[in-house]
Amino acid sequence: MVMMKAAVFAEPGRIVLDDKPIPDVGPLDALIRITTTTICGTDIHILKGEYPVARGLTIGHEPVGIIEKLGSAVSGYREGQRVIAGAITPSGHSNACLCGCHSQDGAGTKHGWKPLGGWRFGNTIDGCQADYLLVPDAMTNLAPVPDDLTDEEVLMCPDIMSTGFAGAERGDIRIGDTVAVFAQGPIGLCATAGAKLKGATTIIAVDAVPARMEMARRMGADHVVNFREADPVAEIMRLTGGRGVDVAIEALGTQATFEAALRVLRPGGTLSSLGVYSGDLRIPLGPFAAGLGDHTIVTSLCPGGKERMRRLMAVVASGRVDLKPLVTHRFTLERIEEAYDLFGHQRDGVLKVAITP
């Protein structure tokens, strides 16, 4: 049994680098040798024990790597090819997938639907903070990386770019829209970039960390509101001349941001929620127009699959959006525990880290 290094969940508070066997390759799988990966905010929730996973599970869902071995039934790829896979790895064949709702894939369940079922890496199967990663349903999920893009350039595609853009897409942003984006962490920054890419002409970003506020402008924000210096609801209403916004994107996962998003929304507008909430949410009666405001509230889980990855890499290749500045720190896999420490405590202006096995 050949061994590899992997960052595994040991117990709440501890993700440790450990030795695990390199996995066997089933007929539909592909084995990827990881060349670059990263740590996600969700991984910190796992670390803290806020999101439960099995002890011993390898963490990580943002892989860039090289195909090491293909399953016997996999065609259309070759070993040695550089690929990414999305954080969400839909089967392609469930009822959910066939309805276009790939993230809620329940392949193998009775009806083919399962909440969050498409999220497998570092959740229900071993993830990619390791030397090797086993990708299930490889033909649905492996996306070749164009030669002229570096690992770091495509490192945001598997999760934060896909999620952030989904906030703009599900909000159905139209040319000329005014959009507010609450919170400018990595997901919110990508939502800001996505809003611009979809044709929003006034984008108002909300945060309080100077480096994130600065980055928000680079991603396309026309205005940045510091919520420590001004009430963001009042400020957005002022900036929009009292009109409110067409689309409000929530990118943090708190009652305060959800509620603020609703309060700045014009009648008939859309609240596009990306955050992971940790408790019940309250919808205030007035901003909700007692249920008569023709509002739309949508939530999104990161879209995955190779076609999504292909499109996101096309965005990177086009130069329309440059997410490279989001990679603020670099570590080898050997030092991933340090990386968790830095990222988990949001020290040193960290946005995203690159991890290289």
Q: Name residues contacting a second copy, limited to 125-184 (CB under 8 A).
A: 137, 139-140, 165, 168-169, 174-178
Burial (CB count within 10 angstroms: exposed 0-12, middle 13-18, buried 19+), residue 356:
middle
Residues 59-98 that bind a second copy (CB under 8 A): 72-73, 75-76, 91-93, 95-98
Q: How far apart are CA 24 and CA 68, in angstroms?
A: 12
295, 288 in Cβ contact below 8 A? yes
Contact between 44 and a second copy per CB under 8 A = no
Question: Least distance to a second copy from the beta carbon of 75, Å?
Answer: 6
Q: Does 49 bind a second copy (CB under 8 A)?
A: no
Residues 134/14, Cβ–Cβ less than 8 Å: no
Beta-bridge mates of residue 32: 67, 133
Listed ranges 11-19, 206-214, 306-314, 325-333: which one lies at the site for a second copy (CB under 8 A)? 306-314
Question: Using CB under 8 A as the criterion, what x/- string covers residues 275-294 for binding a second copy?
Answer: xxxxxxxxxxx--xxxxxxx
Closest CB to a second copy among residues 126, 169: 169
* Phi and psi, residue 245, nearest 5°: -110, 155
Cα separation of 305 and 301, whole Å?
13
Please report whether residue 48 would count as binding a second copy according to CB under 8 A: no
Out of 101, 191, 236, 333, the only residue in the binding site for a second copy (CB under 8 A) is 101
Q: How many CB atoms lie within 10 A of CB 292?
A: 8
Tell the smallest beta-carbon distance from residue 219 to a second copy (Å).
14
Q: Quick check: 234 and 205 in contact, CB under 8 A?
A: no
The number of residues that bind a second copy (CB under 8 A) is: 96
Tokens of 262: 């609703």
Q: How far is the CB of 103 from a second copy (least distance, A)?
A: 6
The least CB distance from residue 321 to a second copy, in Å, is: 9
The radius of gyration computed from the CA coordinates of the chain, to the nearest angstrom, equals 20
Residue 346 DSSP one-character state? T
DSSP element (H, E) containing 304? none
Q: Which is nearer to a second copy, 23 or 92 (CB)?
A: 92
Nearer to a second copy, 138 or 353 (CB): 138
Instruction: Pick the binder of a second copy from 2, 11, 80, 318 (CB under 8 A).
Output: 318
Q: Under the criterion CB under 8 A, does residue 192 sit at the interface with a second copy? A: no
